[in-house]
Amino acid sequence: MAADGVWNTTMKTPMGPQAGTLELTTDGSTLSGSMKSDQGEMEFADGTVDGDELAWTLDLTSPMPMKIEFAVTVDGDTLNGNVKLGSFGSAVLEGTRA
């Protein structure tokens, strides 16, 4: 799928923009990968693919336990979507292919 590969991302959080790198791999309707940021590298779970739409979750342990839910759309060399930040609201995620 067109989503496979490495992506440079910016998450626009209530605490300011957070840069990161996504590595995505698709296999049919299954999405796997990892996200690197200032908080370290984390493998994600529950990844799904539905056409150009991707979804996955990250379970943070630091600085506090929190489940983060991602829902993005891939369009060529860009991706855009929303991130649910547990009880801290939501953020916009934007990315470009590395």
pTM of the model: 0.90
**Residue ranges of the domains in the chain?**
5-97
Instruction: Report which of residues 25 and 39 the model is more confident about.
Output: 25
pLDDT at res. 13: 85
Q: How far apart are CA 73 and CA 86, in angstroms?
A: 21
- Tens-place pLDDT, residues 36-47: 988 788 898 889
In the predicted structure, residue 88 carries a pLDDT above the cut 90: no
- The percent of residues above 90 in pLDDT, for the chain, comes to 68
| CATH number belonging to domain 5-97 | 2.40.128.120
Chain mean pLDDT for the chain: 91
d(CA 87, CA 19): 21
Ranges of beta strands (E only) in the chain are 5-13, 16-27, 30-37, 40-43, 45-50, 53-60, 66-75, 78-85, 90-97
Q: Does the pLDDT of residue 10 top 80, yes or no?
A: yes
